[in-house]
A = this chain, B = another copy of it.
Amino acid sequence: MEVAPELVQERGKASFPPSTLTQLVDGGVAKMARRRWLRSLILSDPIFNNEDSIYLNHTERYKRALAKCGRLDQLINKYRLNEEDSIVLRSCTSEDLPTLLHDLMFLPCLLSLCSEEQQAYWVPAARSKKVLGCYAQTELGHGSNIQALQTTATFDPATDEFIMDTPTAQAYKWWPGTLGRTANTAMVIARLLLPQESSSSSPASYKDMGIHNFIVPLRDLHTHALLPGVVTRDIGPKIAFAGMDNGCLELHAVRIPRANLAQRFVRVTRQGVWSRVEGTHSKAAYVTMMQVRAIIVVHSARELSKACTIAIRYSAVRRQGFDDSKTGSELQILDYASQQYRLLPLLAASVGFFFCGRAVLTLLAETEDALLKGRKGQAEVGALMGRAHAALAGLKSLCTTIAADGIEECRKCCGGHGYLACSGLPELSGNFLQQCTVEGDNVLLTQQTVGYLLKSYIKWRTGGPVLDEECQYFVTAADGAHAEGLGEGEKGVRDEPAVLSLFSRRAFATLERLALRLQSLTEGEASLSQAGAWRRVLVDVMFVSRSHALYTVLRHFAAGLKSLRDGNDVSGVGKAGADAAFIRVLERLFFLFAFYHLSKEAGDFLELGLLSPETVARVRGEVEILLGEVRPDAVALCDGWDWDDFELKSALGRWDGRYAEALLASAKKEPLNHQDPVDGWDRTWQPQWKVEEQTERARL
């Protein structure tokens, strides 16, 4: 179909070529070309077709997705794709693949938790998908509090085996993706119970050694039949994520060899004696978790950008209401300030989160490098891990919260049509919502970040060592001399350093307030225990984490802009003089993101005396100006994210803007329309008023 004239016009007036943004997010021209080639493999293969997926139930969707997994493997083998290419290829399917957790958790866990000897066997088996694994941690009764998990692995010296048990319904593994029907093996997190020496007269007693990891075969590798003592189930329909078989696992006296304890960091001898493996960093076990959180930050940027693409393109072609003149056509709804205010800061967030995600991946790569290659000492690695952990927890929480709310706001911005499955937004939103809960609930995670910040703060306040990059800002923020910097310089309020300084001072001030409060709760009249005081201040903890993470996003955003301006960005963007216009657009997005949040959360800044009411008003005005400036580039920014219609799966967000035709075509496919009147209609209504008609006739 011909492209809607509105989109032609929007694309014509953009101040930069969208491919510059594509180059940036792909990390360079070569990677961009490679991704597009990989995507073309998916687009041209009918097995990946997703046109009717909104009509499929969980079982149908799962089966389709399973078939896609098989084809993906064939493609990966055929083109001998490396790890990086395979990940890109998988993501281009825009499908919830049942094998996701095999790739995302099981294989990485084998690599990070198993000894080299174990890896020699399991890794090739997993790579060939002979062994299809999942990661079984969460239980029906316990998620975030890992220490309370109830699944047990009891060592039996008689047979040299562990006996795996889920003793109660609460102990059943519950939620692991890939577990329900797909996986034949699980990395199971269980309490290790070792026999204790006991007098011969008393029954055997066991010592609880805490949480360990075990490789547990679930199904016969050939027949895929469940092994004795193993029960798995799919846990049923969810908001979305219908291609995935999130599962439940019962283990009833399932015996596994002693060698199936993941033993990179710990060992159990033939005699049942536990020991730590010398020279290893035990915290390495957390690397996989941190990797997943970093991927989630990147994912937040991408999924939010998809929603923005749909809503902004639709807002450009949807018309409503006349200008004064009442002549000509109706206005584009993107021309309303309220619509801009709802959408454009989200577009800015998606770009900010991109820079942020790139930065945390780099940080994580450094940490991992230090850890796995054993180049640094235990203490140094511990510090790096602690810092990465704190940074990721807060960012995962903030980015997924903003993205989840933002995707839903994009959906609402499409009016009624956003409520239709064919708009693509319900599934996009439904799939993304889980990100707020998985891999650490967003509210619980704030405790991780703030715990770290407080520890660093107290260390520093009591004359401790130099602060790491995560907390570096304490030093300048504590210096109240420049309390009202924003808007005072020549640049007006559009002053990157002043903005960063302001957000850092807010984060610091709320942290300091929390520290004082905790002190007064434990030391003062209240005299609460540490844990009791901590539980009391959890609301403050949420806000401190948010303030810190918001500052962190801005810091990474600004650093990204600087690398572009300096011409040393890894993507190569910024080297060409022609990129200057693009950088100006991103700078506007930086200020839009910052000022949007500043004006929404002005209470903090005012209460803490960091801004005057006059500056807040000025910032609010600046948001309005920025919306007007970003508006002409909005469609180009969406285009720059380079989502194919196949990936958006949306009647509203199509490249050609032909939403009316697309909606209508979609409705025609609805199975309910395939019979008319609907079977059962006559049984429902007919008899009743047939009786009435007869009565009526009799009366006449």
Contacts and interface: CB of A to CB of B under 8 A. Distances in A.
A142 B336 contact: no
A689 B129 contact: yes
B141 A667 contact: no
Number of copies: 2
Given A141-B660, A603-B603, A67 B419 contact: no
Interface stretch (A237-245, A293-301, A306-314): A237-245
Nearest to A513: B617
Contacts of A529: 324
Contact of A664 (B140, B181, B336, B416): B140
A117 to B, nearest CB: 20
B338 A538 contact: yes
Given A181-B678, A609-B613, A419 B443 contact: no
Interface stretch (A52-60, A203-211, A466-474): A52-60
Nearest to A318: B141
Contacts of A671: 57-59
Interface stretch (A105-113, A268-276, A433-441): A433-441
A490 interface: no
Given A129-B688, A607-B616, A235 B535 contact: no
B138 A338 contact: no
A279 interface: no
Contacts of A623: 539
Contacts of A180: 672-673
Interface string A534-551: 011111011000000000
A601 interface: yes
A595 interface: no
Given A607-B616, A688-B70, A663 B58 contact: no
A422 interface: yes
Interface string A671-689: 1110011111111110011
Contact of A688 (B74, B245, B330, B685): B74
Contact of A238 (B175, B421, B599, B613): B421
Nearest to A617: B607
- Chain A contact residues: over half helix, strand or loop, or mixed? helix
Contacts of A141: 319, 660
A144 interface: yes
A410 to B, nearest CB: 13
Given A438-B416, A624-B539, A667-B236, A689 B130 contact: yes
B341 A539 contact: yes
8 A-B pairs with least C-beta separation: A602-B603, A70-B684, A338-B538, A603-B603, A606-B606, A224-B677, A237-B421, A236-B670
17 contacts: A74-B688, A128-B688, A128-B689, A128-B692, A129-B688, A141-B660, A143-B320, A181-B681, A233-B668, A234-B673, A235-B667, A235-B670, A237-B421, A337-B537, A337-B538, A599-B603, A603-B616
Interface of A: 54-55, 57-59, 62-63, 66-67, 69-70, 73-74, 77, 128-130, 132, 138, 140-145, 148, 169-170, 172, 174-175, 180-181, 219, 223-226, 233-239, 245, 248, 319-324, 330, 335-339, 341-342, 408, 412, 415-416, 418-422, 426, 430, 433-434, 436-438, 441-443, 529-532, 535-539, 541-542, 599-609, 613, 616-617, 623-624, 660-661, 663-664, 666-673, 676-685, 688-689, 692-693
